[in-house]
Structure 1
Amino acid sequence: MNIASSYNGVPYIAGGTTKKGMDCSGLVTTCFKEIGIQLPRSSSAMSAKGEEISLSNIQKGDLLFFNIARLKGGINHVGLVINVTKDNIEFIHSTTSKGVISNSLKEPYWDKAFVKAKRVLN
């Protein structure tokens, strides 16, 4: 979570994986790579890894996968869970409009686009 938070405010660049700019899967793969875990580069391929979990079992470090309607082709966005409370799940991700930011899964846009959660950390 600390690694991901260090990228807060980094602008969006498609295919980016550095502080100059990154996309959603670039953020996640970069953070996991820094702790020695290799993940596929695309959010769609990444969604096939790990163990699917229910939101009631979500923990920091889990991944949330989304299908954003204006983009084509099923799972097309990923976020990293950074905080869990009784009534909220906060995740960090990279958006085309604001770069790396945190959002709540309770927000209607993200709740509607949510597909599944996966755990890749033991």
Structure 2
Amino acid sequence: MKKIIFLLIATSLFFSSCGSSKRSKSFDSAKKTSVHKKSNKKIKSIISYAKTFNGTKYKYGGTTRRGMDCSGLIYTSFKKENVPLPRTSRSMASKGKPVSLKRISPGDLLFFRTNKNKKVINHVGLVVASGKNIQFIHASVSKGVTISSLNERYWNSCFVGARRIL
């Protein structure tokens, strides 16, 4: 009889200790979900803020509504959410993690080489829509701050790569 009681107690202790590992796992999952929600909120805010500059004229080195260049737009938009980035598109291209076009999502950065004589990144855009028609906001010399599509022949031919910052 004592052996049976001992086995029941030992078995119940074994099963109760197994249950605690499940709780920590779900806690970790909840923590990841919370972090994901925070970064989603930041991404939406960054995109929304960048869009407020739509129509702003192009100005080399500009970071205000009086004039904006491509990296200035990205730098300013991320800075508003306390996400530090370098000031130039070439330097931005080394931050975050590379991401394929198949996995691109809003908030990712697209990098371009628009000068065929130089093999350096000199343009950056912020993805605002993904899927078959990837759209990005950027500051172009001819149109100022505008939204373009990666499907456009010009931008597609200059595209170098994409990176995820958040």
In percent, how many aligned pairs have the same letter? 51
TM-score (ref. length: structure 1): 0.95
User: What's the offset of the Cα at 1:84?
Assistant: 1.3
Partner of 2:165: 120
Matched, 1:79 2:119: no
User: Number of residue pairs matched?
Assistant: 120
Q: What secondary structure, in the 3-state scheme, does the structure 2 residue paired with 1:88 have?
A: coil
Specify the structure having the higher radius of gyration (Cα). Answer: 2
Structure 1 segments (4+ residues) deviating >2 Å: 69-73
In the other structure, the counterpart of 1:48 is: 94
| Equivalent of residue 96 in structure 1, options 141, 145, 154 | 141
Matched residue, 1:111: 156
Query: Structure 1: which 5+ residue stretches go unaligned?
Result: none
Instruction: Give how far 1:112 is off.
Output: 0.3
Q: Structure 2: 5+ residue runs without aligned partners? A: 1-46
- Pair 71,78 (structure 1): closer, same or farther in 2 beyond 3 Å: farther
Cα-Cα RMSD: 1.0
TM-score by length of 2: 0.70
**Which residue of 106, 121, 124 maps to 1:60?**
106
Using the TM superposition, give the Cα deviation of residue 72 of structure 1 relative to its aligned residue in structure 2, in angstroms. Answer: 3.5
Write 1 or 2 for the structure with the bigger share of helix: 2
How far residue 73 of structure 1 moved from its aligned partner, in angstroms, is 4.5
User: Which structure's relative contact order is higher, taking Cα pairs within 8 Å and 6+ residues apart?
Assistant: 1
* Higher strand proportion (structure 1 or 2): 1
Q: Which amino acid aligns with 1:34?
A: K
For structure 1, which segment, 67-76 or 87-96, has the greater mean C-alpha deviation from structure 2 after superposition?
67-76
Find the aligned partners of 2:156 and 2:99 in 1 and give their Cα distance: 16
- Separation in structure 2 between the aligned mates of residue 99 and residue 76 of structure 1, nearest angstrom: 16
Q: Which residue, out of 61, 64, 73, partners 1:18?
A: 64
String of CA shifts for 1:53-109, please: whole Å, max 9, x gaps.
Answer: 000000000000000025734100000000113x11000000011100000000000
The whole-number CA distance in structure 1 between the counterparts of 2:85 and 2:70 is: 13
Aligned residue for 2:130, secondary structure, equals strand
Tell me how far apart the structure 2 counterparts of residues 71 and 94 of structure 1 sit (CA, whole Å).
21
